[in-house]
A and B are shown apart, each in its own frame.
Chain A
């Protein structure tokens, strides 16, 4: 026990570990805020689709030698998020098919571009870390940390200010439009926020695992709690605890950060499912 404590204390003395913890917790928190809405709106896969878009954009940014990849990835992802949310509402291509199309399409193009243009000697390493975020979170520069912190605070602020609107848009959009509320605007805000969270989360767990951060905390919380506020608060707590545990376990165990966090989330989900079963019995 003491040994673990020492190795943790040791790890905490490195700035990159502290950065990873701060950014990791903030990202997990943002992702879980949205998770409740996305799961309830049947949009769980939007996170997945958008993360592939972000991957494609990232590949282009790397190929073009952008100094800061955020500058390209963020706007592209935001635009795709808006398109996807719009499409989900009224079009002949159903929402899930549109997402599937966009996600595999951008994934393929992204990999293609990386192969064609990348000057890196370690291409498969680059691809792997973009997809699974293997070490990205531990190599953040101070600029990236501040950018992540800033964007996370923005997401949290938007969520707090629009909490009631987000609830209502999730529960029944038609009612809002009918009674004269600008539901379309709130949907748009939601789309932008989703995109920001996806791009942020790519740093933490990589493009392929983002959905896990979005979906697991919300689903775990929904096992046990029965009103929107409690579900939201609980899923945020789960996400933060899982992110901290995941990062702290991964450092001494030398496992990839992203997949460790997701593994902890899975354990959390199992615990909550069992807890729900037990409480229903008694």
Chain B
């Protein structure tokens, strides 16, 4: 039984179809990279998995409870000048265990501390979120996502706008989390990194899935040869 199974999904907005008849599955411990051009429906797909949007057709089958998903969204304009301390932001990841309880338990505060330590940001706890560097902010949001769950993380372009050093740090952290059995589903523009770190690739193109399968198969496929190949040439 896969952790997440998307069956014949058709996605779109305002009545316009972006992805049709998409099927794929994710097993516990997988590292799935969703790649594809702008407007190919990557973000829509992720929002559908997260139940922020409903699919136009098809279904998502999962045995996970709603509060077993962690999410690292793209930053919004609101967050960029939000007066919040790092600790406040990380703690908010734990809200899904609070229910109506108006405060955090000591045990929950410890989880927040552990996750900050794990990502090497405990020294930032009291600082203001908006004054951190882009890389630090992403780590804070990653820590928050980890507070929500250890089972599965959905990351929406986690390295967008980061400098090369912060980018490689971020990829390493994500790889470490995956090695510790956290399932990763990541949207990425960076096909080279996707091929380096992911175990599976979902390549969405206009209207339908161009490819879904393991990384090894992807490199041998037409889509993989064209995209990963040309990206490789371009960077060489």
- Pick the contact of A161 from B71, B82, B102 — CB < 8 Å? B102
The answer to whether B95 and A168 have CB atoms under 8 Å apart is yes
Please, how many angstroms separate the alpha-carbon atoms of A36 and B50 in the complex? 28
Interface residues of B in 45-93 (CB under 8 A from A): 47, 50-52, 65-71, 73, 76, 78-79, 82-85, 88-89, 91-93
Shortest Cβ distance from residue B56 to the other chain A in the assembled complex, whole angstroms: 16
- Name the segment of A73-81, A108-116, A176-184, A194-202 touching the other chain: A176-184
- Tell me, yes or no, whether A222 is within 8 Å of chain B by CB: yes
Interface residues of A in 149-206 (CB under 8 A from B): 160-165, 167-168, 170-172, 174-181
The answer to whether A179 and B84 have CB atoms under 8 Å apart is no
- Pick the contact of A168 from B68, B85, B92, B145 — CB < 8 Å? B92
- Pick the contact of A180 from B66, B82, B84, B130 — CB < 8 Å? B66
- Pick the contact of B52 from A164, A177, A229 — CB < 8 Å? A177
Residue among A160, A167, A226, A229 with the highest chain B CB neighbour number at 10 A:
A226
The answer to whether A225 and B69 have CB atoms under 8 Å apart is no
- Tell me, yes or no, whether B186 is within 8 Å of chain A by CB: no
Interface residues on A, range: 20 to 34
Whether A225 touches B79, Cβ cut-off 8 Å, given contacts A179-B71, A181-B95, is no
The answer to whether B71 and A175 have CB atoms under 8 Å apart is yes
Q: Scoring A residues 81 to 111 as 1 if CB is less than 8 Å from chain B, else 0, what string do you get?
A: 0000000000000000000000000000000
The answer to whether B84 and A167 have CB atoms under 8 Å apart is yes
Whether A227 touches B88, Cβ cut-off 8 Å, given contacts A171-B82, A177-B51, A180-B65, is yes
The answer to whether A228 and B95 have CB atoms under 8 Å apart is no
Q: Scoring A residues 34 to 72 as 1 if CB is less than 8 Å from chain B, else 0, what string do you get?
A: 000000111000000000000000000000000000000
Please, how many angstroms separate the alpha-carbon atoms of A172 and B52 in the complex? 13
Please, how many angstroms separate the alpha-carbon atoms of A170 and B82 in the complex? 9
The answer to whether A178 and B85 have CB atoms under 8 Å apart is no
The answer to whether B128 and A227 have CB atoms under 8 Å apart is yes
Interface residues on B, range: 35 or more
- Pick the contact of A179 from B47, B67, B82, B91 — CB < 8 Å? B67
- Tell me, yes or no, whether A30 is within 8 Å of chain B by CB: no
The answer to whether B84 and A227 have CB atoms under 8 Å apart is yes
The answer to whether B83 and A41 have CB atoms under 8 Å apart is no
The answer to whether A179 and B96 have CB atoms under 8 Å apart is yes
Residue among B79, B83, B89, B103 with the highest chain A CB neighbour number at 10 A:
B83
Please, how many angstroms separate the alpha-carbon atoms of A178 and B93 in the complex? 11
Q: Which residues of A contact B84 (CB under 8 A)?
A: 167, 171, 227-228
The answer to whether B103 and A164 have CB atoms under 8 Å apart is yes
- Tell me, yes or no, whether B117 is within 8 Å of chain A by CB: no
Whether A227 touches B85, Cβ cut-off 8 Å, given contacts A167-B92, A179-B93, is yes
Shortest Cβ distance from residue A88 to the other chain B in the assembled complex, whole angstroms: 12
- Tell me, yes or no, whether A231 is within 8 Å of chain B by CB: yes
Shortest Cβ distance from residue B155 to the other chain A in the assembled complex, whole angstroms: 12
Q: Which residues of A contact B93 (CB under 8 A)?
A: 175, 179
- Tell me, yes or no, whether B148 is within 8 Å of chain A by CB: yes
Please, how many angstroms separate the alpha-carbon atoms of A227 and B79 in the complex? 13
Shortest Cβ distance from residue B65 to the other chain A in the assembled complex, whole angstroms: 7
Q: Which residues of B contact A163 (CB under 8 A)?
A: 102
Residue of B nearest to A92 (CB): B14
The answer to whether B85 and A175 have CB atoms under 8 Å apart is no
- Tell me, yes or no, whether B154 is within 8 Å of chain A by CB: yes
Residue of B nearest to A186 (CB): B95
The answer to whether B50 and A177 have CB atoms under 8 Å apart is yes
Residue among A164, A170, A178, A229 with the highest chain B CB neighbour number at 10 A:
A178
Shortest Cβ distance from residue B97 to the other chain A in the assembled complex, whole angstroms: 9
Whether A167 touches B88, Cβ cut-off 8 Å, given contacts A179-B70, A179-B96, is yes
Residue of B nearest to A165 (CB): B95
Q: Scoring A residues 210 to 225 as 1 if CB is less than 8 Å from chain B, else 0, what string do you get?
A: 0000000000001001
Whether A174 touches B71, Cβ cut-off 8 Å, given contacts A179-B148, A181-B96, A227-B85, is yes
Q: Scoring B residues 145 to 166 as 1 if CB is less than 8 Å from chain A, else 0, what string do you get?
A: 1001100001000000000000
Please, how many angstroms separate the alpha-carbon atoms of A160 and B83 in the complex? 19
Q: Which residues of A contact B68 (CB under 8 A)?
A: 180
Q: Which residues of B contact A42 (CB under 8 A)?
A: 78
Q: Which residues of A contact B102 (CB under 8 A)?
A: 160-164
Q: A42-B78, A167-B84, A227-B84 are in contact. List 10 more A-B contacts (CB 8 A).
A: A164-B103, A167-B92, A175-B73, A177-B52, A178-B52, A179-B69, A181-B95, A226-B128, A226-B130, A227-B128
Q: B interface vs A, CB < 8 Å?
A: 47, 50-52, 65-71, 73, 76, 78-79, 82-85, 88-89, 91-93, 95-96, 98, 102-104, 126, 128, 130-131, 144-145, 148-149, 154
Q: A interface vs B, CB < 8 Å?
A: 40-42, 160-165, 167-168, 170-172, 174-181, 222, 225-231
